[in-house]
Amino acid sequence: MTIQLPRAGVLVLVAAYALSMAYVESAVVVYLRQALGVSTGDVFPIDLESELSGRLGWIEVGREAATLVMIASVGWLVGRSGLERLAWAAVVLGAWDIGYYFWLWVFSGWPTGLAIWDLLFLIPVPWAAPVWAPVAVSLALVGFGLALAGRYHAGLHATAAPLPLAALLLGGVVVFVSFILNAGVVLEGGTPTDFAWPIFAAGMGIGVVAAVAILRTARPVDESPARVT
pLDDT at residue 9 in the model: 78
Q: What is the pLDDT of residue 8?
A: 72
Of residues 107, 84, 92, the one with CA closest to residue 32 = 107
Q: What is the DSSP letter of 127?
A: E
pLDDT at 62: 82
Given a cut of 70, whether residue 228 has pLDDT beyond it is no
In terms of Cα–Cα distance, which of 107, 96, 103, 101 is closest to 119?
A: 101
Residue 193 has pLDDT above 60, yes or no: yes
Asked if residue 102 lies in contact with residue 27, where contact means CB atoms within 8 angstroms, the answer is no
Nearest-10 crossing angle of helices 8-35, 51-78: 170
Residue 195's pLDDT is 95
pLDDT-derived band at 96 (thresholds 50, 70, 90) equals very high
Q: Where are the beta strands (DSSP E) in the chain?
A: 117-121, 127-130, 156-157, 219-220
**pTM to 2 decimal places:** 0.84
Radius of gyration from C-alpha coordinates of the chain:
19
Between CA 92 and CA 97 the distance in angstroms is 8
Q: Count CB-CB contacts under 10 A for residue 80.
A: 9
Buried b (16+ CB within 10 A) or exposed e, 166-186: ebbeebbebbeebbbbbbebb
pLDDT value, residue 50: 53
Cα–Cα distance measured from residue 89 to residue 95, given in angstroms and rounded to the nearest whole number = 10
Show Cβ contacts of residue 58 under 8 Å, excluding neighbours closer than 6 positions: none
pLDDT in tens, 126-140: 899 999 999 999 999
Q: How much is the pLDDT for 226?
A: 46
Query: What gap in Å lies between CA 95 and CA 141, rounded to an integer?
Result: 9
Report yes or no: 45 and 190 within 8 Å, Cβ to Cβ: yes
Can you give the pLDDT at residue 101?
95
**Of 192 and 45, which is predicted with more confidence?**
192
What mean pLDDT is reported for the chain? 84
* pLDDT digits 0-9 by tens, 142-184: 999 998 888 877 777 778 788 888 999 999 999 999 999 999 8
- Span 186-212, mean pLDDT? 92
